[in-house]
Amino acid sequence: MASPESPDSPPWEKIARDPDFRRLLADKIKFVVPATMFFLIYYFALPVLVGYAPKMMSKPVWGQLNAAYLFALSQFFMAWILAAFYVRAALRWDREADAVLKKFDLK
């Protein structure tokens, strides 16, 4: 690991101030913050609804399957779909990160 004092150390400060790098960070935040808020709310809605409105959640919705079970089941698909969105966005961030490194002749 090169320490920042050594002469061949990468120009951390310069990269950090680079507009393309700042845009990359902003892009990531724009995805990660809302996506995290969404899955936390979606997930905690389950124990809250099941815990405090058990009557409502026991109502059969689809055949004999009730709202509680279907909502729990939907959490699995929510997690997978959100992960797929993240991966798609992350492929774009990878290209942007590589472009930043190329600009500084580091890749």
- Positions in 17-76 near other proteins (CB under 8 A): 21, 24-25, 28, 32, 35-36, 39-40, 43-44, 46-48, 50-52, 54, 57-58, 63-66, 68-69, 72-73, 75-76
Q: Which of 29, 16, 7, 31 is nearest to 100 (CA)?
A: 16
Query: Does residue 10 bind other proteins (CB under 8 A)?
Result: yes
How far is it, in rounded angstroms, from Cα 24 to Cα 45? 32
Closest by alpha carbon to 38, among 86, 70, 73? 86
Convert 24-55 to b/e letters by CB count within 10 Å (16 or more is b).
Answer: beeeeeebeeeeeeeeeeeeeeeeeebeeeee
Residue 90 contacts other proteins per CB under 8 A: yes
Residues that bind other proteins (CB under 8 A): 1-2, 4, 10, 12-13, 15-16, 21, 24-25, 28, 32, 35-36, 39-40, 43-44, 46-48, 50-52, 54, 57-58, 63-66, 68-69, 72-73, 75-76, 78-80, 82-83, 86-87, 90, 93-94, 97, 100-101, 106
